[in-house]
Structure 1
Amino acid sequence: MSFALFAAGVATFALLYCTQALLPAISADLAVTPDQASWTVSAATGALAVAVLPLSALSERFGRRAMMTASLCGAALVSLAIPFAPGLGWLIALRAVQGVALAGVPASAMAYLAEEVRPKALVGAIGLFVAGNSIGGMSGRILTGWVAQLWGWRAALGTVAAMAVLAALAFRMLIPKARNFTPSPLSPRAVARTVAGHLSDPLLRRLYAIGALFMTVFGAVYTVIGYRLIDTFHLPQGVVGSIFLVYLVGTVSSANAGRLVGRIGRRGALYLAVGTTAAGLLLTLAPSLVAVLLGLVLITAGFFAGHAVASSAVSRIAKTGRAQASALYQTSYYLGSSVGGALGAVAFHAMGWSGTVLLGLCAVLGASAITLYGTRAAHSEHRARIAHPAGPSLAGIRLTGR
């Protein structure tokens, strides 16, 4: 079961970001600007963001296993057509369809594991799924970079499509039938009430915004970094794709986020993630390849730590409708990726790399301001509880958590 979800994670994230490392090659071949080419990434992540919540509701009715199988098969079939897209418009449209298809996996995977895996084995199973996400995203970018250098970007996308088809087949063969799933009737009103309840919670709103802002930085930087590395440092396409090995740093930082929260609290961890990301952005302005690479390491470590802290807090804070709470976080997260990629490319086209860095710093400043507001709100609740021990509501008490 765990290896089936690992295969699903590999396929999902290899496909979702398959054009990101290829943007300079796509721009050169199709004679389009970076901001135009960036939509091949933003269309997929934006469509996924929009589709996650409704597909999570459908999985309650038709089953997690069926939803993930349909998603992977649909996305793999679309991936076989993408290398033959005649122009940028068709490429963007197919990538949007692919994003909708892929949304069924993040909409269902965690719920499936929670229902089918013994509690003692759940952490390990989720860890293997997350590892599949990371390896899929990283290997897809690295593979496309080297294949594109040898045979062009269309061949690179065909290679990723073949890898996704194999991963989808492995998932279908390895995934066992659900034993503990109980279908629920589709109730749009009930889902709407649950979503409205989550959106009315100020702490959840702040966490959604923080996740979106962190992903805005990450999406902007990694959508545009290929252009900077090729234009400024004249690196070949294969080496540019290999830059995504930096993701391994993120795997380490996210794995240690829980320990960090235990030592300095949730908001302390967010402040550290914000500071690390900002330092990395500034470092990439230096005219040195070593400095740029070190900056990417810091940005990646800061982003993954911030994302891990915010996403885990959502799961802990939501007492009811956790699937919808997590789906809302994923919606904001992938919207941040879509917006960040598009705006980061626009800023790069207008102002160069400094424009992309400026956009990232603005997003980091926004995340810092939200965290600071939450800290002050928590302190105010704490003082009010001391002054009036019987007064605060349960919601107020919950806001004082670190």
Structure 2
Amino acid sequence: MPYIKKGTKAFRKTTLAMFFGGFNTFAIMYSTQPLLPEFSHEFHISPAVASLSLSLTTIALAISMLFVGSLSEVKGRKPLMNFSLISASILAILTSFVPNYHVLLLFRILQGIVLAGLPAVAMAYLSEEIEPADLGVAMGLYVSGISVGGMSGRIIIGMLTDFFNWRVALGTVGVLSILASLLFWYLLPPSEHFQPRPLDIGNLTKSMVNQLKDPSLLCLYGIAFFVLGSFVTLYNYIGYQLIAPPYSLSQTLVGFIFVIYIVGTFSSTWMGRRADMHGRNKMLKIGLLIMAFGACLTLITPLVIKILGIALFTFGFFGSHSIASSWVGRQAIHDKAQASSLYLFFYYAGSSSGGTIGGTFWQTLGWGGVISMILSFLLCALLLSIRLNYISPFNQHTKTTLTLQKANC
């Protein structure tokens, strides 16, 4: 069967479905992020403890993805993604009825487990079905859905929390997510290049070990850890700063800070195209440097400059993630689902670690401490991208040679 090419009806349906899938997943996942100050106040907990409502979700998702990717090799890509989106939406509605913070954390862990179905499988689906030359654009549109979902979910949460309460806000996001799930199910074409395989724990373990032996993939996994760790840390604690003097913004206005996510919708696609034309590594470094510059701007007191810094930081993040995630699909010749699962494991492990550790920096050193931690993470990511520049060409040549040798056997 031919691959899905840009400009065709199938390409439009696929990318639109992935857009809705990304919207659903990340509207739910990050729905509690703008509520951290609200949780601190209502449940009398510290910012670091409040951040567990997000960190536990992402670490549960990270662990679950190690197995969900392999399960999709048996059950198929689309059915697993459908189940993930519908079940997560139902859990999101149920979360609005929890009696206390401990039960809320339990439901958030369950959400993390079932949410793994889309991000663990989406990259593998796109890598299998999309024409390789158009993969960067397709992945960019998927990441755009992530940015819109994250943005709109937070804005809705902020507004409804101000006018009603956080329970109404979370329930509303759950209902909207069910609608997005149904659109995903309707639009996404069935897999044409997927080859089902029986579940083999031994081969699964061997496959993951082999992926971890690939130095290029290891660098990409490390970059994923540090990039999302930086991003989540900034957005976790910017709300605490903005609701306090000298800004004293309302929950609604803090929620509208996430309108900045719209730049991610543009940057993920734009940077994906530029990476296809000018080289992935070059554009990845540019994305990381933009993030660092934006983070530094948030240290300046005037609100307009601070918002500009957040916008640049967000632009760099979504561009970097779009490039790195599509790179994994190209780098892994075999067992793409496992390679994608490992990438996302490190990605969300970075979110969990950075998001909670950042609370300690905020409590002890203030916003300057948070930015220092973010810059340290970005420096590590930049060093890995420099290392990747040296090992990737040789490693890709080796893989191509081995593939040709196997084909001739």
Q: How does 1:277-296 map to 2 (within 5 A)?
A: 277-296=291-310
| Structure 1 range deviating more: 132-141 or 16-25 | 132-141
Q: What is the match of residue 51 of structure 1?
A: 64
Q: Which runs of 5+ in 2 are unaligned?
A: 1-12, 403-409
- Give the letter aligned to residue 350 of structure 1: T
Distance 1:28 1:332 in 2: 31
Asked if structure 2 preserves the Cα contact closer than 8 Å seen for 1:26 and 1:153, the reply is no
Q: C-alpha separation between the residues in 2 aligned to 1:242 and 1:33?
A: 24
Report the equivalent of 2:381. Answer: 367
| 2:39 is aligned with 1:35 | no
Shift in CA distance, 397/370, structure 1 to aligned 2, threshold 3 Å: farther
In the other structure, the counterpart of 1:197 is: 210
Structure 1 residue 229 corresponds to structure 2 residue 215: no
1:349 to 345, 356, 363: 363
Determine helix, strand or coil for the equivalent of 2:160: helix
Say which of 370, 384, 398 aligns to 1:394: 398
Give the structure 2 partner of residue 10 of structure 1.
Answer: 23
- Structure 1 62/164 Cα, relative in aligned 2: closer, same or farther at 3 Å? same
CA distance in 2, matches of 1:110, 1:275: 25
User: Quick one: distance in 2 between partners of 1:266 and 1:51?
Assistant: 29
Aligned in 2, Cα 1:329/1:121: closer, same or farther, shift over 3 Å?
closer
Cα 1:71–1:237 change in 2 (3 A) is same
Most deviating of 93-102 and 310-319: 310-319
Contact 1:219 1:340 in 2 (8 A): yes
What percentage of residue pairs aligned between the two structures are identical? 40
Deviation per CA, 1:152-175: give whole Å up to 9, x if none: 111111111111122233334555
Report the counterpart of residue 197 of structure 2 in structure 1. Answer: 184
Relative distance call for 1:378 and 1:352 in structure 2 (3 A) is same
Q: Which runs of 5+ in 1 are unaligned?
A: 383-391
Choose the corresponding residue for 2:264, options 239, 250, 267. 250
CA–CA distance in 2 between the matches of 1:255 and 1:118? 16
Q: For residues 349-393 of structure 1, what are the alpha-carbon distances to aligned partners after superposition, in whole Å with 9 as ceiling and x for unaligned? A: 2221111111101101111222333446679x79xxxxxxxxx98
The 1-side partners of 2:380 and 2:139 are apart by 30
In 2: Cα distance, 1:119 partner to 1:371 partner: 22
CA shift for structure 1 position 127: 5.2
Alignment map for 1:286-325 (pairs within 5 Å): 286-325=300-339
**Would the alpha carbon gap of residues 90 and 314 (structure 1) be closer, same or farther in structure 2, given more than 3 Å must change?**
same
Task: Give the TM-score, by structure 1 length.
Answer: 0.88
Does the 8 Å CA contact 2:297/2:308 hold for their aligned counterparts? yes
1:8–1:168 Cα contact (<8 Å) kept? yes
* In structure 2, C-alpha distance between the alignment counterparts of 1:116 and 1:39, rounded to whole Å: 36
Tell me what 2:233 maps to.
220
In the alignment, which residue of structure 2 is the partner of 1:168?
A: 181
Distance (Å, rounded) in 2 between the aligned partners of 1:189 and 1:70: 26
Which residue in 1 is equivalent to 2:9?
Answer: none
Asked if structure 1 preserves the Cα contact closer than 8 Å seen for 2:136 and 2:323, the reply is no
Hey, what does 1:267 align to over in structure 2?
281
TM-score normalised over the length of structure 2: 0.86
